[in-house]
Structure 1
Amino acid sequence: MNKHNLPKIRVRETIVSYLFLAPALLFFFTFVVYPMLSGIFTSFFDYTLKKFNFIGLQNYINLFQDEIFWKSMRNTLVIVLGSVPVVVIFSLFVAVTIYQKKAGVRSFFRGVFYLPVVTGTVAVTVVWKWIYDPLNGILNYVLQSGGIIDEPIMWLGDKRFAIWAIIIILLTTSVGQPIILYVAALGNIPQSFIEAAEVDGGNNWQIFRKIKWPCLMPTTLYVVVITTINSFQCFSLIQLLTSGGPNYSTSTIMYLVYEKAFKLTQFGYANAMGVVLAIIIGIISFAQFKVLGNDVEY
């Protein structure tokens, strides 16, 4: 091959590569980059259906003076702190337990735990609405039959219980994927490491802590980050079950963004909330990478 033709061939290959990437890049810039930049831009405007006036940082000033925003922020943090550790610990426990079973049993349990993930949100909501129903729900029936409670509880209508009822539902739909990932990660641990530890007299806890857990750290980092982001973006369960009530006791930042934008048409104010939420998620994700990612090889 003539050496003078190499630059032309490389240019041609580069052009062809970008042509193949063009549809995905077009989709990415149209539905991800442009809406993101548009949201940041319009957060500096008093943007409604009737006006579009530049107001600088006023939306952000109003945001941090809004009691409902801070209540929604608190609810969001409760959901994140109440769900992420439980998802990680429970998923890891289940994965380690079922990994020791036969292949058929392992597949059965993976399917059972993953079923809520692939089930539609509306279908899941209908089932849980029946479970939480104060008059005909099975949860109150079981608790009353066992003498735990004397009167039916309005699980979704009482601000003392509503946010925790939401967290329980979120847990059932969040553990499926981590269990699948942990089972797969356990299968990638070299068996020779475990056999060597057993020969040296290591017990199950020592083998898990010294060998299995370090090998599971990349998966754990992914599970923690993704579960945190999904918890911060909790919306559909809130919308379908409580609509943020009672008295905003289950409202999250994502639900408040929806309410301000599509119910009250305060698009600029809603976009300011979205920007603040994105910054918070970015900071927490960065911290998680710094804390959990030190021993992870990419």
Structure 2
Amino acid sequence: MILIRQIIKMRWAYFFLFPAYFFFIIFTFIPLTRGLGFSFYDVKLSEKTWVGLGNFEKLYDDAAFWKSLTNTVLIVVGVVPVGLVLSLGIAVLVFQLGKLMQTFFRMAFYLPVVASGVVLSMVWIWILHPNYGLMNYMIGLFGLDPVAWLGTPGMALLSIIGVTITFIIGQPIILFLAALGGIPGDLYESAMIDGANAWRRFISITLPLLKPTTLFVIVTKTIAVFQVFVVVLLLTGGGPANSTQTIVFRIYQTAFDFFNFGYASALGVVLLVIVSLITWINFRLLGRDTEF
């Protein structure tokens, strides 16, 4: 009876929460549970056979899986730290400007966030084209030979890392700008009276007070980069020689090219476990003494 009275009392709150929960259950929770179930089956287009842990046992001998996992980790290691430093540095520089210029740069840097990833990838295909791309034209002005940005394994992976950085820094810049605006100016004034220079004020005041925002950016962008897919699909297709194949691209290829949905589900479960573990480690290492 107490529970029923509580539900009746909070009925309007549940009413407004219902649409969000409805779409979460239909498009996230149910597919997630179905995927977990499929990971224990050999799922074809017309039949489903129980294999238990067989799909997970295949992972040990799947060289393509380990290659895609390695590439994904390299992309995460290359994108998240650089993206964090760049976004924080840009936010600090923009914060020094007037309100009008801040508004302009907020809009400019946030544009890639709201733009379609397909559109942005097509722009980068033109920029990195080996024959008429803007990048080779720019380096040609300095007398350098054209570079096959997407045609060689090492350069293709670096190109994917660089393009992904441009995709993810927009939102952190906005978040850091908002966090910088919430730091009391009295702290900086007191530090200046004590003789602290700009670098000391940044290290002793700005960085510690940005810790909650920094943790949020690291966690969310790590999760996002682990799921990088569109840029790989459109720019390289996982090549050359699988040098840019990521784990999400491998899942897509296994499911929709090879029609092995059970094994693709197992790959998805592994990705979920890896991302959850890394998120837990981030909170354990960076979440101490952090208030949200």
TM bracket (short chain): over 0.9
Q: Residue deviations 1:254-289, cap 9 Å, x none?
A: 000001111111000000000000100000011011
* Deviation, structure 1 residue 219: 0.4
Structure 1: give runs of 5+ residues left out of the alignment.
1-5
Q: Which residue is 2:127 aligned to?
A: 131
Q: Which residue is 1:226 aligned to?
A: 220
Q: Which amino acid aligns with 1:30?
A: I
SS in structure 1 of the partner of residue 153 of structure 2? coil
SS in structure 1 of the partner of residue 210 of structure 2? helix
Give yes or no for contact 2:187–2:205 (8 Å, CA) kept in 1: yes
Give yes or no for contact 2:43–2:262 (8 Å, CA) kept in 1: yes
Separation (CA, whole Å) in 2 of partners of 1:53 and 1:191: 65
Give yes or no for contact 2:215–2:287 (8 Å, CA) kept in 1: yes
Is 1:164 the counterpart of 2:158 in the alignment? yes
Separation (CA, whole Å) in 1 of partners of 2:85 and 2:64: 32
Which stretch of the first structure deviates more once superposed, 97-106 or 273-282?
97-106
Is 1:297 the counterpart of 2:291 in the alignment? yes
Quickly say closer, same or farther: Cα 1:12–1:244, change in 2 above 3 A.
same
The equivalences for 1:173-184 within 5 A come to 173-184=167-178
Q: Residue deviations 1:187-207, cap 9 Å, x none?
A: 000111111111111111111
Q: Which residue is 2:282 aligned to?
A: 288
Give yes or no for contact 2:42–2:50 (8 Å, CA) kept in 1: yes
* Deviation, structure 1 residue 35: 0.9
Q: Residue deviations 1:83-121, cap 9 Å, x none?
A: 000011111111111111111122222222222222222
Separation (CA, whole Å) in 1 of partners of 2:208 and 2:54: 47
CA RMSD of aligned residues (A): 1.8
Separation (CA, whole Å) in 2 of partners of 1:238 and 1:53: 32
Q: What is the percentage of aligned positions where both structures have the same residue?
A: 43
Quickly say closer, same or farther: Cα 1:52–1:134, change in 2 above 3 A.
same
Q: Which residue is 1:103 aligned to?
A: 99
Is 1:212 the counterpart of 2:206 in the alignment? yes
Structure 2: give runs of 5+ residues left out of the alignment.
none
Give yes or no for contact 2:71–2:245 (8 Å, CA) kept in 1: yes
Considering only CA atoms, is the larger Rg found in Structure 1 or Structure 2? 1
Is 1:191 the counterpart of 2:190 in the alignment? no
Question: Which of residues 111, 116, 122 is equivalent to 2:112?
Answer: 116
Question: Which of residues 114, 139, 154 is equivalent to 2:148?
Answer: 154
Q: Which amino acid aligns with 1:235?
A: F
Q: Residue deviations 1:216-254, cap 9 Å, x none?
A: 000000110111011100001111111111121111000
Q: Under a length normalisation based on structure 2, what TM-score does the superposition of the two structures give?
A: 0.95
SS in structure 1 of the partner of residue 259 of structure 2? coil
* Deviation, structure 1 residue 15: 4.6
Is 1:141 the counterpart of 2:137 in the alignment? yes
* Deviation, structure 1 residue 11: 5.0
Question: Which of residues 48, 51, 64 is equivalent to 1:55?
Answer: 51
SS in structure 2 of the partner of residue 53 of structure 1? strand
Question: Which of residues 246, 249, 254 is equivalent to 1:260?
Answer: 254
Q: Which residue is 2:83 aligned to?
A: 87
Give yes or no for contact 2:122–2:234 (8 Å, CA) kept in 1: no
Q: Residue deviations 1:136-173, cap 9 Å, x none?
A: 112112223312x33x2221121121111111111111
Separation (CA, whole Å) in 1 of partners of 2:226 and 2:4: 49
Q: Which residue is 1:3 aligned to?
A: none
* Deviation, structure 1 residue 49: 0.7
SS in structure 2 of the partner of residue 46 of structure 1? strand
